[in-house]
Structures are given as structure tokens and as C-alpha cells.
């Protein structure tokens, strides 16, 4: 009986501590949002950011010989970040050129890498 009570008390303490350590007010920025390379929460993106990312992705999908399936596009106030993988080095340059040609793009951070295939 005593060990069951200790177990319940320890479990309760851990749950309360875990909940309190992750609690955060709505107005306080999270540590992740404060770091330079952190991904922003979907709710923090504006309609114009989403529209710009869609426009860039659409332009990439229409580019001759370019496979957009492994490319991720993020936009924030006109700054576009490309990440993911492509098959050739020429496609890395092509993606950046196409992205720069889209109206509303002010800068491009090209983090695309070459896809080498396989699982490792």
C-alpha cells in the first residue's frame, strides 16, 4: 500500500512539473522563435507569406526540367528560403534563378542539396 502511494505521488509530481515547465504565456516568445534559424509556427506566417511561397513553388513547378517534389519553400516578408534536395547542381542554380524572378521576392537563401539516393 505504501509503495502504491509513493508511486502515485511521484507520478503526480512529475506530471505537474512537466506541465509547469512547458507552460508559456501567449505573449512571451518561445526560445525557438527567438533563434535565427528557427522554423516559425504556421500561425505566425501571414497570408502574403503563404501566397509568395505558393507563387515560388508554382514557378519552380513550371520550370523546364525541374522536379519540385523534393523542394520546400518558405517565405517571410519577401525573403524566401529554399531547402530540400534536387538531382543536379544545375537545378540548385536554376531554382535560385527562378525564385529571384518571382514578383515579391526580395532575397533568396538557397539551402538546396544534391539528392544521393538510398537510405544512408
Q: What's the whole-number mean pLDDT along residues 103-115? A: 96
Q: What are the structural domain ranges in the chain?
A: 45-114
Examine the pLDDT at 81 and tell me if it is beyond 70: yes
CATH number of 45-114: 3.30.1340.30
pTM: 0.61
What is the Rg, in whole angstroms, of the alpha carbon atoms belonging to the chain? 22
Percent of all residues in the chain with a pLDDT value above 90, rounded to a whole number: 58
Amino acid at each position: 500500500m505504501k509503495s502504491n502511494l509513493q508511486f502515485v505521488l511521484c507520478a503526480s509530481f512529475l506530471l505537474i512539473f512537466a506541465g509547469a515547465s512547458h507552460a508559456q504565456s501567449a505573449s512571451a516568445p518561445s526560445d525557438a522563435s527567438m533563434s535565427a534559424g528557427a522554423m516559425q509556427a504556421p500561425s505566425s506566417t501571414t497570408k502574403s507569406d503563404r501566397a509568395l511561397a505558393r507563387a515560388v513553388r508554382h514557378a519552380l513547378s513550371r520550370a523546364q526540367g525541374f522536379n519540385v517534389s523534393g523542394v520546400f519553400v518558405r517565405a517571410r516578408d519577401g525573403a524566401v528560403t529554399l531547402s530540400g534536395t534536387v538531382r543536379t547542381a544545375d537545378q540548385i542554380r536554376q531554382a535560385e534563378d527562378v525564385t529571384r524572378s518571382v514578383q515579391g521576392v526580395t532575397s533568396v537563401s538557397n539551402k538546396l542539396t544534391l539528392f544521393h539516393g538510398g537510405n544512408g
